Amino acid sequence: MDATALPPSADAPAPRTGLRERSRAKRYALIQRTGMRLFAERGYAATTIADIAEAAEVAPRTVSGYFPSKIDIATSFADSIAGRLTAAMNAEPDGDLITILDTWLAQEEELADPELFALAEAMHEANPELKAISSAHVAEAGEYAGAALAAHAGLPEDHFMLTIYSAAIKAVLAAYIGSLRHAGQSREAHRKVMDFLQGIFDAAAKG
């Protein structure tokens, strides 16, 4: 059995748990980046789990233990971003959406890794179908923002303008997140994006 799959010992000191989690995080990142690089270099269809395991110098079962399938590796970067947005929305279902988005974007700026963004871009350029799948996953998370916007504006969810406002919000967020590849963003850029989003909210509130 892979040691990473073993449950923690009841007699183990607390620091070992932290070390184990850090070790798992490093292995996750290694497999993720190796897979994305191979998808960019060889193509998604031509790359196997065994190829990724060999390049990452781990067992195929270890790869599968972190990522059940190739597509999970391919979408992991976008899914992580979308997952954090969903988690932020779920954590404060009645919270102010602008404040939630502000906090979430600040977190993404802090976590932004130019190398990982570059890998994702190269992978998507070589495999456009993967970009479409990843975009769809992010769009699903954006639906939370659309529902919150409807409540904020007092508009029915089938209102035709709500579709436009929601699309504008998702486009702004996607464009800004994409720009984080270039060594993050300044506080001024963050402020301008939030001002733009506030303008969309204000327009929606007017009906």
Residue 60, C-beta contacts closer than 8 angstroms, at least 6 positions apart = 49, 50, 53
Apex 71 CA angle, 81 and 111, nearest 5 = 20
Confidence of residue 185 (pLDDT cuts 50, 70, 90): low
**pLDDT, mean over the chain:** 84
Is 186 domain-assigned?
yes
Residues 178 and 86 in one domain: yes
The whole domain housing 121 covers 71-205
Question: What would you measure as the largest C-alpha separation in the chain, in angstroms?
Answer: 61
Residues 112 and 192 in one domain: yes
Is 58 domain-assigned?
yes
Structural domains in the chain (count): 2
The predicted pLDDT at position 147 comes to 72
Residues 85 and 175 in one domain: yes
Is 167 domain-assigned?
yes
pTM above 0.85, yes or no: no
Residues 75 and 155 in one domain: yes
For residue range 34-72, what is the model confidence (pLDDT) as tens digits? 999 999 999 999 999 999 999 999 999 999 999 999 999
Phi (first) and psi of residue 147, to 5 degrees: -65, -40
Q: Does the pLDDT of residue 130 top 90, yes or no?
A: yes
CATH code of residue 125: 1.10.357
Question: What is the DSSP track for 113-145?
Answer: -HHHHHHHHHHHHH-HHHHHHHHHHHHHHHHHH
Is 30 domain-assigned?
yes
